[in-house]
A and B are shown apart, each in its own frame.
Chain A
Amino acid sequence: MSKPFLSIENLTQIYPDGQGGDLTVFENANFGIEKGEFVVILGHSGCGKSTIMNILAGLAEPTSGVVKMDGFEVSGPSLDRGVVFQNYSLLPWLSSLKNVSFGVAARYKDWSKQKVLEHSKKFLAMVGLEGDVIHRKPSQLSGGMRQRVSIARAFANEPKLLLLDEPFGALDALTRGTIQDELLKIWGGTEQTVFMITHDIDEAILLADRILLMTNGPYAQVAESVEITIPRPRSRTEIVEHPNYYAIRNHLVQFLGQRSKELAGKREGETPKAPETIRIDKTGSEEDPVPSAPLRAVNT
């Protein structure tokens, strides 16, 4: 098997625990991401999801292990890896348009001012921001609109890898839904490779090609890689009707609710391995109807 576009090899992060000892957040994380793939990582707080994200972004250094993109080792932040932060991280003294265009200007240094602005406006329009709104400062926008600007900024730079760090974490459920749709729309129009953190199982199923599941920290591991066997294009209202939806959801809930705890902890003498691939596909078997009613009660 050829090397994937992005490969994370034996990534380990150890922090001092404040009492002279060490705290291993996660160890021997091994996984790959193919070009154009949308991968979501799910796990409880403290398993090191954000640390993995920061390492991929180049904002943090792992204790050991390497990240390779296109065969080259990643070191330091780069325009090839765009980031959408949870708290938007827009520069409050710039208008929405300027927040996007300064990134575009940094990416395409030889472009004319006019071209930079047109490109920025195009991507703002793709997330539904047009007209007067783009000249407002972030403080004059709602949380949802701010995150749209942030998403537009990231997509406008057309990075090789887009990192989304709980992008909808600070939004209310309704806004979250609309922006998920915007994200799917803008992603569908590009060949963008995306790696995203979330806490929301439904969001993960809606967006992802593949969900990586992490066990609880410390000594967290990437334990499973769950394929989302629901065809695209997906919409929030239609995927719940798909026979695979609740089977996958159930698996994820079971993992996060129980197995992430059972699998947690240090394992000595085990060779680092890739996460186990899980494929749940009920579309072939008519005999096994999706037990939807009891599962609706499951809440995370």
Chain B
Amino acid sequence: MFDNLSVNQRAAVLSVVMLVVGLLIWEAAIPAQKAAAELTEYERLTGGGAPKAGVPPPSQVIAKAWEQLSNPFYDAGPNDKGIGIQIGYSIYRVLTGYIMAALIAIPLGFLIGMSQVAYKAFNPFIQVLRPISPLAWMPLALFIIQDSEASAIFVIFICSIWPMLLNTAFGVANVRQDWVNVARTHELGYLKTAFTVILPAAAPTIVTGMRISIGIAWLVIVAAEMLVGGTGIGYYVWNEWNNLDLTSVIFSILMIGVVGMILDLAFGALQRAVAYVE
């Protein structure tokens, strides 16, 4: 019956089947709470009739998602904001830190890639700083910057700078000598060579670095916001955990995944735009 479907259509059918089966198993695996009338006297005495916190079934999560997504931007005080507002805060922090990192990493990576001396001089610092977990900077950032909001942005900045810096330097350093020779025999100046030959030649490598960076930044923002609190999707997850509202926790986990996927798709599109075939 699937013979006349394309590969993509068959995969889509299979995906839907897996989703439905998974949700059904999940739904069935959650033990239903007994109604008060069915409880023994002993159970009632020990509090068995009180609503029990458990992993919610998917039906509740879907209901929650519907409720939240139908009004994502409400603001009812510091502890009750819509999911749209929380995600908005997170994206704002990620993009601010990320753009600052790009503004420094790409030009600096360009210079490092153009000069072997600079490459070798910067390399030890990069190699030591790069493996540091971005959250390890948090106490220092909080102490120096003295502002939790700015500290979260700084943590994003510091975690997204390395892949972009290294990829830019690598891409620029490995531009084919033939293309550089073409620029030289056409007497292109330094800037003209940088923009018309080296930048397009290294662009796929640079954008790959940017894509890795945005992925890491989105991973880190959740943890950073759990620490600094106040607003953001990371704070929201932790706050709902404190409220023991697991339905919201699961819903927000899904939202983190969806936003991360959209960010990655955007950079994937950018990557295709600058790609070339040799």
Contact = CB atoms under 8 A, between A and B. Distances in A.
Q: Do A and B come from one complex?
A: yes
Interface of A: 57-59, 76-79, 81-83, 85, 87, 89, 91-93, 102-103, 106-107, 137, 139, 157
By secondary structure, the A interface counts as loop
B185 A139 contact: no
A157 B187 CA distance: 12
A137 B277 CA distance: 9
Given A102-B196, A137-B276, A89 B179 contact: yes
Contacts of B179: 89, 91
Interface string B46-73: 0000000000000000000000000000
Interface of B: 178-179, 181-182, 184-188, 196-197, 200-201, 203, 274, 276-278
Contacts of B188: 106
6 contacts: A57-B185, A58-B184, A59-B181, A83-B185, A89-B182, A91-B200
B276 A92 contact: yes
Given A91-B200, A92-B277, A137-B277, A85 B178 contact: yes
A81 B185 contact: yes
B276 A103 contact: no
Contacts of A157: 186
B152 to A, nearest CB: 38
Given A79-B186, A91-B200, A106-B188, A139 B277 contact: yes
A137 B276 CA distance: 9
A83 to B, nearest CB: 5
Contacts of A107: 186
Nearest to A140: B277
Given A92-B276, A106-B187, 9 more contacts: A59-B185, A77-B185, A85-B182, A89-B178, A91-B197, A91-B200, A93-B203, A137-B277, A157-B186
Question: What are the 4 closest A-B residue pairs judged by CB atoms, nearest first?
Answer: A139-B277, A93-B276, A89-B178, A77-B184
Contacts of B187: 77-79, 106
Contacts of B197: 91
Nearest to B187: A79
A78 B181 CA distance: 11
B277 A59 contact: no
Contacts of A79: 185-187
A157 B188 CA distance: 14
A103 B201 CA distance: 17
A139 B178 contact: no
